[in-house]
């Protein structure tokens, strides 16, 4: 019970505070969008810069850790695509958007604060290793799959168009810029001046609270609607299938140590991130299912995360 009260509930109380503020009209949706822009475009990239710059790369980037997480993630993609296409008979493009929602766990806004509260800041190395390729890799796969689906449906985009879409979708992300700069500092070995490090610490400290508050306001905006079966499938893939596969591979397949096992499992067990809706909205397909799945899974993850924390060493 202490894990629920001390680790999980504080994170979700901040999300709930954002949702309450939006619901009561204490903050406008425009202001919520501003909070999220600040968090996603500025504070969180600085947090990732700080984390990646300080990583022990040889320790953090364990092949077993990365394989365990991403085999689980892309198993979720395949499960979501096949289910959407052949069980719910959705168009190809809808199926890709739903599959993306099954894959894109909220590794940063939920995974990092829960891991930190449960095991301390020193336990985040594996989280940052996963996050360093999370958005670029999954966005690349999602964009390639979506452009393939669109070309099958309309014959409109060739290989060159797909390549441009992937490059534009990945390189334009502020989070990726923060990660890239963090790697540059890490590999260069250049020491950060004390005044610069202090400024980085201040901005980074604002990132997660602002993002969690803003996430609550965003989730309030997209209340559940749409295909209940497809929503349930996304929730199952995100909260059960992905962490179950990743935990099994990490513990029994690759024999990872306790810290890596925690990072893999907790990150895999997170609900779909708001990026699942952003991706669907970018292409104008599967928006209701993606938005509703993000909201439902985020609420249920209070209990499923508690369960995974009981399992982990």
Sign of CA dihedral 176, 206, 126, 72: negative
Position 50 pLDDT exceeds 90: no
Return the pLDDT at 105.
92
- Calpha distance 210→109 (Å, rounded): 10
Strand ranges (E), the chain: none
Nearest Cα to 208, choosing from 107, 112, 123? 112
Return the pLDDT at 12.
84
Whether the CB-CB separation of 21 and 217 falls below 8 Å is answered with: yes
Position 98 pLDDT exceeds 90: yes
Mean pLDDT of 103-125: 88
**Which tens digits make up the pLDDT trace of 57-94?**
776 789 999 999 999 999 999 999 999 999 999 999 99
Return the pLDDT at 1.
55
Which bin fits 158, alpha (ψ -120 to 50), beta or left (φ > 0)?
beta
**Which tens digits make up the pLDDT trace of 119-155?**
998 888 899 889 888 877 888 788 888 878 877 766 5
Position 171 pLDDT exceeds 70: no
Enter the pTM of the model: 0.80
Whether the CB-CB separation of 231 and 224 falls below 8 Å is answered with: yes
Position 162 pLDDT exceeds 70: no
Instruction: Find residue 272's DSSP bridge partners.
Output: 105
CATH of domain 2-311: 1.20.1530.20
The model's confidence at residue 164, banded by pLDDT at 50, 70 and 90, is low
Query: Which of 77-81, 198-202, 218-222, 242-246 is predicted with the least confidence, judged by mean pLDDT?
Result: 218-222
The four Cα atoms 281, 9, 267, 131 give a dihedral, to 10 degrees, of 70
User: DSSP of 115-174, one letter per residue?
Assistant: HHHHH-GGGGHHHHHHHHHHHHHHHHHHHHHHHHHHHHHH----HHHHHHHHHHHHHT-H
Return the pLDDT at 109.
80
Instruction: Find residue 105's DSSP bridge partners.
Output: 272
- Calpha distance 66→64 (Å, rounded): 6
Mean pLDDT of 24-42: 89
Position 103 pLDDT exceeds 90: yes
Cβ atoms within 10 A of the Cβ of 145, count? 20
């Amino acid at each position: 019970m202490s894990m629920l009260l001390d680790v999980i509930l504080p994170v979700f109380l901040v999300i709930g505070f954002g949702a309450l503020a939006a619901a009561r009209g204490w903050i406008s949706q425009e202001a919520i969008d501003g909070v999220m822009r600040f968090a996603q475009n500025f504070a969180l990239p600085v947090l990732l810069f700080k984390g990646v710059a300080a990583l022990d790369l040889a320790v953090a980037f364990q092949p077993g850790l990365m394989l365990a997480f991403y085999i689980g993630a892309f198993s979720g993609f395949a499960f979501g695509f096949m289910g959407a296409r052949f069980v719910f008979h959705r168009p190809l493009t809808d199926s890709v958007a739903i599959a993306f929602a099954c894959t894109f766990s909220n590794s940063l806004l939920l995974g990092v604060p829960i891991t930190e509260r449960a095991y301390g800041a020193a336990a985040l190395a594996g989280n940052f290793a996963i996050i360093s390729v999370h958005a670029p890799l999954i966005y690349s796969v999602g964009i390639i799959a979506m452009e393939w689906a669109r070309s099958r449906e309309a014959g409109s985009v060739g290989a060159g168009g797909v390549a441009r879409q992937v490059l534009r979708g990945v390189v334009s992300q502020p989070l990726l810029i923060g990660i890239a700069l963090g790697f540059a500092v890490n590999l260069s070995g250049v020491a950060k001046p004390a005044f610069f490090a202090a400024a980085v610490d201040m901005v980074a400290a604002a990132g997660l609270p602002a993002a969690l508050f803003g996430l609550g306001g965003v989730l309030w905006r997209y209340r559940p609607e749409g295909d209940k079966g497809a929503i349930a499938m996304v929730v199952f893939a995100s909260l059960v299938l992905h962490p179950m596969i990743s935990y099994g591979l990490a513990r029994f397949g690759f024999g990872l140590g306790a810290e890596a096992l925690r990072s893999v499992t907790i990150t895999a067990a997170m609900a779909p991130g708001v990026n699942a809706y952003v991706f669907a909205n970018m292409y104008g397909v599967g928006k209701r299912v993606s938005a509703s799945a993000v909201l439902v899974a985020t609420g249920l993850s209070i209990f499923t995360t508690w369960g995974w924390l009981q399992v982990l060493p």
